[in-house]
């Protein structure tokens, strides 16, 4: 079964990295805990939070809703904790979701992006992905390479069904 997440506002960078790994990770900056938990229940999402008060909520403490208390302030340690404790495969579907709005990216041809990317990028890149919602374009440039290297530092596979 696919694991999907809802990330509390106190761990926003973690949400982006989960998306980078290909996981469905909702993130809201201004939402009260009750609404966040209701969405998690309705959609079967795992709650990721640094809020110890939220962890005391009945739906979490009685096991009705799965939640993980994030221990560190550093996003790398947060990501490592989530990968380890939830046994995620961080190489399953990397770079398939929009880092901004969580939508699944769609391939775009070089002709599709002509005039939409910088000339150097157009001249040096062949593969492009685009978010169907926010229209953000992605390609395998230096930023992509740095993120890929960060992912490679994580354990390859924890045997997850993610």
Q: Which domain holds residue 129?
A: 106-152
In sequence order, which residues have a C-beta less than 8 Å from that of residue 70 and are 6 or more positions away?
Answer: 10, 11, 14, 48, 49, 50, 78, 81, 82
pLDDT value, residue 3 = 92
Q: Do residues 82 and 124 share a domain?
A: no
Q: Do residues 11 and 77 share a domain?
A: yes
pLDDT value, residue 158 = 47
Exposed, middle or buried, 74 (CB in 10 Å: 0-12/13-18/19+)?
A: exposed
Write down which residue in 58, 86, 114 finishes a domain: 86
Tokens of 35: 């609404």
Q: Do residues 82 and 111 share a domain?
A: no
Q: Do residues 52 and 116 share a domain?
A: no
- DSSP string covering 113-152, please? HTTTS-HHHHHH---EEE-TTT--EEESSHHHHHHHHHHH
Print pLDDT tens along the chain (162 aa): 589 999 998 888 999 999 999 999 999 888 899 999 999 999 999 999 999 999 999 999 999 999 999 999 999 899 999 999 999 887 778 899 999 999 999 999 999 999 999 999 999 999 999 999 999 999 998 888 888 888 887 765 444 444
Domain membership of residue 159 (yes or no) is: no
Write down which residue in 86, 115, 139 finishes a domain: 86
Q: Do residues 11 and 81 share a domain?
A: yes
pLDDT value, residue 28 = 85
Q: Do residues 52 and 117 share a domain?
A: no
CATH of the domain at 53: 3.40.50
Domain membership of residue 74 (yes or no) is: yes
Domain membership of residue 161 (yes or no) is: no
pLDDT value, residue 159 = 45
Q: Do residues 9 and 68 share a domain?
A: yes
The domain total for the chain is 2
Domain membership of residue 98 (yes or no) is: no
């Amino acid at each position: 079964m696919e694991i999907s997440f809802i990330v509390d506002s106190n761990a926003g960078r973690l949400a982006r990295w989960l998306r980078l790994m290909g996981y469905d990770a909702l993130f809201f900056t201004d939402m009260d805990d009750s609404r966040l938990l209701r969405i998690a229940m309705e959609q079967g999402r795992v709650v990721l939070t640094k809020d110890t008060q939220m962890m005391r909520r009945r739906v979490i403490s009685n096991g009705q809703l799965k939640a993980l208390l994030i221990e560190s302030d550093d996003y790398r340690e947060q990501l490592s904790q989530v990968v380890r404790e939830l046994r995620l495969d961080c190489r399953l579907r990397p770079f398939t979701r929009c880092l901004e709005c969580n939508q699944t990216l769609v391939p775009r041809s070089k002709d599709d992006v002509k005039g939409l990317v910088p000339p150097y990028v157009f001249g040096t890149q062949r593969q492009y992905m685009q978010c169907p919602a926010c229209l953000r374009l992605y390609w395998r440039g230096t930023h992509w390479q740095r993120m890929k290297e960060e992912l490679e530092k994580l354990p390859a596979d924890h045997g997850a069904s993610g």
